Amino acid sequence: MLESIGNTFLAFFAIDAGLSILDDLLTSAGFEGLAPFRTAAAVIVFMALPPLYLLVAASRRLPAAVFLPPILVGAWLNLGAAPLYLVFDDAANVALAASLIQLATAALAYATVYARSGWRRGLLDPTDDAGPAFVPARFACFAGAAVVLGPLLLATYAAGALTTWVDFSTAGFVRVERDGIYLTERHYQRDNREIRLVAMMHIGPEGLYEQIFSSFELPETVVLEEGVTDESQLLGANFSYRKLAEKLDLIEQQRPQHPQKPSEWPHRLHRDLDVSDFSPATLDFVQKVGLFIDALDDPEALRQKLEDPASLPQNGELVMHEILMRRNQLLLQTVEAALLDYERVIVPWGALHMPWLEEQIEQRGFERTWMQQHRFVDWKRIRRAIRKAVEWWALLDSNQGPSGYEPGALTAELRARSDESSSDSPVGGDALVADSRTWQHSAQ
């Protein structure tokens, strides 16, 4: 019985890998007919992993040398397959690599079975004398390992997966390092023209914004300021990250001071979208995000919003595409126009804008010449901010979270212009912190 279960699992594990590879290849050719079968096989394998581990733990009839590799690889693939995204720069290549790894693992399992049988067969045989169906000492050992090592391994993997995701989604403009989180500044050169991409955040530690802005004070330089405006007050109130920053023991990014005279460097240019340029879906999304941030001072009001599906931001993926790509295209046009009048163009915008913009300027003949990393925040401050956030969250007296809502939506690349501002040119972007590490790179 147990041998039959093991043989069935290995068969589905191999079939899942084969269907995945075949589907990836056919999909690249425009055929997607295998998707339902691939999904069904993947679900069967995923659902079988926990009970199979228990069976392997309980009985020698399911050899650990055969089944632990497929169980571990299956769990790894379902948890995101980090760090494959650091190795391959395309999601299709990541999926194909994951499928090949799964197929290789299945082949290894069958080879192990074949070797254990004395090179006579590649399937487990119920007639083999492998001992009793249940071995208490073996089960206790496996269970203890799962209880003791499982959480540690999951936490380690989660940290690694998060680091991989952050690095991949920002093309390295945000890096998680041993001593904190760093934001990257990259310089690009073409003839006598230079572009600087400076990754930013909307919130950050207090008192360290001025340092990064002071590095912009160079001749023949223009700084392209980020910041979605709200000329018609469609949001109904000033959109601000201040309350969110306070809950995390940080502050909202401040605007750099403008030169006292038009002749002083750097010049500053603001060309971003207005809220009125957004679609109704995006406007609704932003309004709901703003209401969530406004409710951070009132735990009861926030709890009610979290429990009301109608109050949750919707269409996050579509909205983020509009907030990012439409603004990216306008930003690229502004960069190209600024290069006609200035030797140096500095772009201190949110980190999520940077991968696409970097790709575009490199296609236009700019080569990366220099890179500097600025420490955004160290782990000590992060731990303090997390502790403060947990203490605040406990006030909600609720363990339920929103359904279908991605917390990352709170970091949408938006900033409305404040009525109290003395400047007509709002700046978005985000703070950078003092500590920096610099590398000099030769132009390729």
For residue 263, what pLDDT is reported? 62
For residue 369, what pLDDT is reported? 94
**Out of 259-268, 295-304, 354-363, which region has the weakest mean confidence (pLDDT)?**
295-304
pLDDT bucket at 438, cuts 50 / 70 / 90:
very low
Q: How far apart are CA 113 and CA 110, in angstroms?
A: 5
Return the residue matching tokens 């979290």: 306
Better-predicted residue by pLDDT, 329 or 156: 329
DSSP character at residue 348: E
Strand partners, 204: 251
pLDDT bucket at 197, cuts 50 / 70 / 90:
very high
* Whether residue 257 has pLDDT greater than 60: no
For residue 441, what pLDDT is reported? 39
**Out of 91-95, 99-103, 304-308, 380-384, which region has the weakest mean confidence (pLDDT)?**
304-308
* Cβ pair 138, 17 in contact under 8 A: no
* Whether residue 394 has pLDDT greater than 60: yes
**Domain map of the chain by residue range?**
2-169, 174-440
Residue 350, helix vs strand vs coil: strand
pLDDT tens-digit map of 203-229? 777 666 777 888 888 999 999 998 888
pLDDT tens-digit map of 278-289? 888 888 888 777
Q: How far apart are CA 225 and CA 427, in angstroms?
A: 5
Return the exposure string of 10-23: e unless at least 16 CB atoms fall within 10 Å of the residue's CB, then b. bebbbbbbbbbbeb
For residue 267, what pLDDT is reported? 92
**Out of 137-146, 235-244, 255-264, 386-395, which region has the weakest mean confidence (pLDDT)?**
255-264
Highest mean pLDDT among 333-342, 386-395, 408-417, 420-429: 333-342
Closest CA to 40 of 73, 10, 15, 22: 15
* Whether residue 420 has pLDDT greater than 50: no
Q: Is 322 exposed, middle or buried (0-12, 13-18, 19+ CB in 10 A)?
A: middle
Q: Is 439 exposed, middle or buried (0-12, 13-18, 19+ CB in 10 A)?
A: exposed
- In order of 79, 184, 211, 294, 427, the CA distances from 256 in angstroms are 42, 19, 10, 25, 8
Highest mean pLDDT among 104-118, 120-134, 174-188, 351-365: 351-365
Please compute the mean of the pLDDT values over residues 330-342 and round it to a whole number. 96
Q: How far apart are CA 231 and CA 164, in angstroms?
A: 39
* Cβ pair 299, 245 in contact under 8 A: no
pLDDT tens-digit map of 69-94? 999 999 888 887 877 876 776 777 88
Helices and strands: H and E segment counts in the chain: 14, 10
* Whether residue 58 has pLDDT greater than 90: no
* Cβ pair 211, 256 in contact under 8 A: no
For residue 389, what pLDDT is reported? 67
DSSP character at residue 241: -
pLDDT bucket at 127, cuts 50 / 70 / 90:
low
* Cβ pair 228, 428 in contact under 8 A: yes
On average, the pLDDT of the chain sits at 78
For residue 67, what pLDDT is reported? 93
* Whether residue 270 has pLDDT greater than 60: yes
* Whether residue 132 has pLDDT greater than 50: yes
For residue 440, what pLDDT is reported? 38
Better-predicted residue by pLDDT, 349 or 422: 349
* Whether residue 419 has pLDDT greater than 60: no
DSSP character at residue 174: E
pTM of the model: 0.64
